Amino acid sequence: MGDRETVAYVALSHAAYSFDGEYSYLVPERYRQVLKAGMRVLVSFGRGNNRVIGLVTRLGYDDDNKHKLKPVISVIDKESLVTDEMMKIIFWLKENTFCTYYDAFKSAVPTGFSYKVDMHFALVNTYIDRESLSTEEAEIVGFLESCDDAAEVDKYFDLKANPQRKKPLDTLIDKGFVEEVPSFKRKVGDDSVKMAVLNDGYEDADLTPKQKKVVELLEESGSASVKELCYMTGCTSTIIKRLCEKEVLRVYEQEVLRNAVGELGDRESPEDIVLNDEQKMAYNGIMSLIRAGKPAGALLYGVTGSGKTSVFIRVIDSVVKMGKTAIMLVPEISLTPQMLARFKVLFGENIALLHSSLSLGQRMDEFKRIKRGEARIIIGTRSAVFAPAENIGVIIMDEEGEQSYKSDSNPRYHARDVAIQRCGHNGALLLMASATPSLETFYHAQKGRFHLFTLAHRYSDAALPKVEIIDMQTESAEGNDSLISRKLADKLTETLKRDEQAILLLNRRGFTTYVSCASCRQPVVCPKCNIPLTYHKKNDRFMCHYCGYTMDNLAVCPSCGSDKLRSSGVGTQRVEDELARIYPDARILRMDADTTSSRYAYEEKFKAFENHEYDIMLGTQMIAKGLNFPNVTLVGVISLDKALFTGDFRSYERTFSLLTQVAGRSGRGSKPGSAYIQTFVPDHYVLNLAAEQNYDEFYAEEIALRQSLIYPPCCDICVIGFSAVMESRAIAAADHVTAFIAEYLRKNKADFPLRAIGPAPCTLEVINGRFRYRLILKSKNTRCFRQMIAAVLKDFGDNKDFKEVRIYADINGDIGL
């Protein structure tokens, strides 16, 4: 038996799905004590020995030393960024979302930790026999001996510009005459501050008066930043430098974490929150599940304004006192400012924040705080489910039915599924909560898979808002061509007179959403997507909300040259103009993707509305859920008709949820509230049940429909999507995959039930110049089914006939587009 060799199994950073795997590399002796799973390394890959960054997924041994393995070139990380538990999650993501190992790793670790590698070359200090060198090799050696400018050396070895040097360079490296020296640059560096501290024996130094001031301050404080020393003593950095030269003091770099949470105010105790009887029952039941220390799931189902957040706070406080960690997920960035403000008052510096509006540096530093155990309560959006927390006691998903919890890019995971895995590894409770839970979750709660806790009444017995449906066809027939119905306009006037506030919802941004020509009947469309452009009045431009294309405002039709252009469709900008015309004295706040692009926009604008600096808040769905403004007594829905008919089987569920939730923003304080829904389909049962806030009856109607049509939760749905610049290639790819699946099922004698729909064009057939087709598969998400999908993707990736076609597989994602 040969020597026992340590082997690293490495997943490559640029691997395509078809050749993604764990590749074996020999661990040199100098790295054996430091290298661990979860660390990144530099390795050579392929016949060309390209230098690639990879993730060590695990370590093992090659006892027989049979295989001639390439060695690990360099270790990049000083410590692993992922825990053993998170490595299990990476393997789970690989199997369940059809991504690569490294894609899964990038989801779990903030982008700021990414590295770029540069290779440098230098002569090894050894004897070189010139006669043994070829002409090209001798030329390289001669250049390295004569040039000591690092930039010139790098330019000389730019192998893209000088590919003829690659072969002789590799030969020189193999002979041991030239060595590779990798340098790694991280996307975002650690933030640090220069600190000063006195050295032993400083008392004997001969000091100037200004230098004595610095020493006296350090004697008093022990250490201080160089910046503070200069400010407090009035000296310059030159004086600090002189003191270092005299060995009076020593300057060192100390890491400083970038603040994402902001300033902390006065503290309150979570125990001061008084729970009513319903809340106490829910709290006690939830805590008994957590104390059991076994993986479990629970649904907190409560009407809007029932005080679910108060239950969360008491649960989190108890979990932290047990020495465990709590993760609180919210669906929208817009919900984090209000939630954060309340949590800061209650839990202080024990909280960490993770969402996409933080800078790369802030996200990195919050990640570090969580990993070190400095923050035990994590608040964030979907990606916070990967927080490097240990000993998790509870993961809370507020508004768990929101579609933003599902990722629509690689890896295509649902935060709920990842949370279930993490609760399994930690013996923790997944607590989902909503007034309008997803049908799947409510179905599993009814079947006993999840524990069900119900809050049937609003806190302090406040009344639910009175909701009324307004028929806009009648309004139009009576001569009202305004976007605001007469009744809603009157109620707005009354609300403003009482010095109360209103929220208006329209889930479409822009000014007009459709511009067409009266002469040729052609709409003004995006040239890349063939979708009608939206006109934005603020910048006087047409914009595509799918690919980002913009163009100047038009005077004539681009198809026929006619000047008879007609606008239709309504966006938030147009409603804002209408409101300003009807209520010239009202202070209007518009909240949509166009007005909330800056990092602190949500926080600043919601705070201003809470402080009554605005009277009316008009916005898209970001204002519909989870917000609490006690002075809001009126909610108006301008239009949601289009959302009912999107072609997705979840369209009714989403519309019901949005209407119920936005209506629930009204009357949350001591004053009664009301809500008005404007529609052209006033008899639609979804709108009427939402007006009644009757989730139970809506669930009964919708689950019967899902069962008859075989849709989730009665099955799982996998969409295999294709896109190509040429439509014929997308069609050919879809047909190839359909035939492959039929052959796979026959050859493997697969016995799981499967229904296929398509392949057919997507609802939006062209986006950003690419034709889109899809194949919809209905089945159960079993290991056998996933193995089939993985085989499809691997076969497709290996097929050179379709190298220009993109493919993806998404289980239980959105099929509406």
DSSP 121-181: EEE-SS---GGGS-HHHHHHHHHHHH---HHHHHHHT-TTT-GGGHHHHHHHHHHTSEEEE
Say whether pLDDT at 24 is over 70: yes
The fold of the 716-811 domain, in CATH, is: Alpha-Beta Plaits (3.30.70)
Q: Which of residues 447 and 49 earns the better pLDDT score?
A: 447
Side chain identity at residue 334, one-letter code: S
Q: What is the pLDDT of residues 163-172, one digit of tens each?
A: 888 888 888 8
Which pLDDT band, with edges at 50, 70 and 90, does 257 fall under?
Answer: low
Enumerate residues 6+ apart whose C-beta is below 8 A from 77. Answer: 39, 40
Report how far residue 524's alpha carbon sits from residue 559's, in angstroms, rounded to the nearest whole number: 8
Mean pLDDT computed over 768-786 = 92
pLDDT of residue 199: 85
CA distances from 309 to 385, 434, 456, 557 (A): 19, 10, 15, 53
Q: Which of residues 146 and 733 earns the better pLDDT score?
A: 733
Report how far residue 233's alpha carbon sits from residue 212's, in angstroms, rounded to the nearest whole number: 10
Which pLDDT band, with edges at 50, 70 and 90, does 776 fall under?
Answer: very high
pLDDT of residue 314: 93
By the 8 A CB rule, do 722 and 733 touch?
yes
Indicate the pTM of the whole model: 0.83
Average pLDDT, the chain: 85
CATH architecture of the domain formed by 5-114? 3-Layer(aba) Sandwich (3.40)
pLDDT of residue 120: 82
Say whether pLDDT at 260 is over 60: no
Side chain identity at residue 452, one-letter code: L
Long-range contacts of 490-497 (CB under 8 A, 24+ apart): 491/634, 491/636, 491/674, 491/676, 492/582, 492/583, 492/616, 492/634, 492/636, 493/583, 495/633, 495/634, 496/583, 496/586, 496/615, 496/616
pLDDT of residue 127: 76
pLDDT of residue 287: 95
Report how far residue 329's alpha carbon sits from residue 395's, in angstroms, rounded to the nearest whole number: 8
Q: Across the strands, what pairs with 779?
A: 716
Question: Are domains 270-461 and 466-509+571-707 of this chain identical in fold?
Answer: yes
What is the percent of the chain with per-residue pLDDT over 90, rounded to a whole number? 38
Which pLDDT band, with edges at 50, 70 and 90, does 154 fall under?
Answer: confident
Say whether pLDDT at 808 is over 90: yes
CB atoms within 10 A of CB 517: 21
Q: Residues marked as binding for Zn(2+)? A: 517, 520, 526, 529, 544, 547, 557, 560
Mean pLDDT computed over 441-446 = 94
DSSP state of 377: E
Which pLDDT band, with edges at 50, 70 and 90, does 214 fall under?
Answer: confident
pLDDT of residue 265: 57
Say whether pLDDT at 517 is over 50: yes
Q: Determine the 3-state secondary structure of 516 from DSSP.
A: strand
HSE toward the beta carbon, residue 227, CA cutoff 13 A: 5
Report how far residue 386's alpha carbon sits from residue 109's, in angstroms, rounded to the nearest whole number: 8
Q: What class has domain 270-461?
A: alpha beta
For the ranges 26-40, 173-187, 359-373, 437-451, the lowest mean pLDDT is seen at: 173-187
**Nearest-CA neighbor of 763 among 545, 533, 531?**
531
Give 466-509+571-707's CATH code, choosing from 3.40.50.2000, 3.40.50.150, 3.40.50.300, 3.20.190.10.
Answer: 3.40.50.300
The region that residue 626 occupies, defined by phi over 0 for left and psi between -120 and 50 for alpha, beta otherwise, is: left
DSSP state of 67: S
Report how far residue 81's alpha carbon sits from residue 111's, in angstroms, rounded to the nearest whole number: 12
CB atoms within 10 A of CB 528: 16
pLDDT of residue 288: 95
Say whether pLDDT at 266 is over 80: no
Domain ranges of the chain: 5-114, 118-186, 192-255, 270-461, 466-509+571-707, 716-811
**Nearest-CA neighbor of 360 among 184, 599, 571?**
599
Q: Residues marked as binding? A: 517, 520, 526, 529, 544, 547, 557, 560
The residue whose two tokens read 């914009």 is 543
Which pLDDT band, with edges at 50, 70 and 90, does 1 fall under?
Answer: very low
Say whether pLDDT at 320 is over 90: yes
Q: Is domain 192-255 annotated with CATH 1.10.10.10? A: yes
